Amino acid sequence: MWICLISICVFVISPIMIIELCLYKLRPLIKYTRNLPNSGVDIFRRWDIPKWNRLKFYLGAIIFLYLRLLLLFTCVFMHWVSAKIVMYKFPIESQPLTSKRRAFFKLSSRFWSRTLLLALGYWKITNHGQAIDKVCVLVSNHTSFIDILYFLCDEDVPSLVSKNGVKGFPFIGTIATAMQCLFIDRFEGREEALKLIEKREIEIAKKVGYPKLVLFPEGTTTNGTGLLYFKRGPFIAKLPVQPIVLRYPEGNFSAAIDVIPIWISAILLICQIRNQLIVNRLPVALPREDITIKEFAESVRATMADFMKVPMVSTTIEEKNELISKIFGYKIKDKSV
């Protein structure tokens, strides 16, 4: 009798309570969205709120939550173990990995990251277009934390640009180091960061051993209904870039983390039976000799916006931060290059 009651509490009541906690945290957002018009372009708005269904969240939580969380944490831990092995007795973190270390990390990263996506409900990822080996720089729209997980299981397993403080994060820091991420100290200023990005892009082009570099030139996440102004980083070295468009067909809950905390997004995604990701690799963008960095960035942005059939918007990251402060009552800092 007691075992039955405890089991009900653990596997039925507690998942429902977790869902209620998530929805409680999102009440300010739900209240704010009710007063908005149902038309127009709004790249930080949660258009999926009318589709949210408590009963479906409850059922998904009872069936999937704990099992998928266990799988998720197992994947992160094993990915960390693999990264520790890769970096074991590696003398200089700022140098490219040896070919054997890199090959081992690619193999383990692709396996554990893909398994992690399975834990988040991404049973199938649809790919269109071809990866081009000679391209050093990839640029992608940015919608969700899922974007990064996708690139971790991509055949190239490219590196990323990350804040210097990420190196100190438990588990994540070790994985980012093994990825050969380019760590930027935001206190040194944007121009210094751009110099480091340009240096890395040139080193990749010279084939000194670094993996491709993937950047999200919008500098923040949106709901995918528009493209923000592109930062200069991906285009600073004027190298050919391959645009990649990531699209998340909406279920009951969108993968976008436009204004939603990442932990809530992860839990509610886990509680959906199935999530979808469609990856489109566009033709390589080649810069003209006389083109400026700004013109090159705008050209790639226009190509991606045309493919996505969305407008190029002038909304800024600062406006997003102000919106989050207005809705949830806390301030965040978001600087990018």
Q: What is the mean pLDDT of the chain?
A: 88
| 83 part of a folded domain | yes
DSSP-derived 3-state class of residue 126: strand
**By three-state DSSP, how is residue 271 classified?**
coil
| pLDDT tier at 9, thresholds 50, 70, 90 | low
CA atoms within 13 A on the CB side of 35: 5
Per-residue pLDDT for 6 more than 90? no
Cβ-contact 181, 160 below 8 angstroms: yes
> Does 184 reside within a domain?
yes
Mean pLDDT of 257-261: 87
In a domain, 1, yes or no: no
Which carries the bigger pLDDT value, residue 330 or residue 174? 174
Tell how far CA 320 is from the center of its chain.
17
Number of domains in the chain: 1
Residue 155 counted as domain residue:
yes
> How large is the average pLDDT for residues 205-219?
90
Over range 266-281, report the average pLDDT.
Answer: 93
Q: Is 24 exposed, middle or buried (0-12, 13-18, 19+ CB in 10 A)?
A: exposed
Percentage of residues in the chain with pLDDT exceeding 70?
A: 92
Domain that holds residue 94: 55-328
Considering only CA atoms, give the Rg of the chain.
21
What does the pLDDT average to over 89-102?
81
According to the model, what pLDDT value does residue 43 have?
Answer: 86
pLDDT value of residue 34:
84
| Cα–Cα distance measured from residue 71 to residue 170, given in angstroms and rounded to the nearest whole number | 18
Q: Is residue 46 part of a domain?
A: no
Please say whether the beta carbons of 182 and 161 come within 8 A: yes
Q: How far apart, in Å, are the Cα atoms of 195 and each of 53, 251, 336?
A: 48, 41, 14
229 has a pLDDT exceeding 80: yes
Residue 229 lies in a domain: yes
Helical ranges in 91-248 per DSSP H: 99-119, 146-152, 172-178, 190-205
Mean pLDDT to the nearest integer, 17-46: 86
Tell me: the pLDDT tens digits for 117-159? 999 999 889 999 888 888 889 999 999 999 999 999 998 889 9
The pLDDT, as a whole number, for residue 143 is: 93
Q: Quick check: 217 pLDDT over 70? A: yes
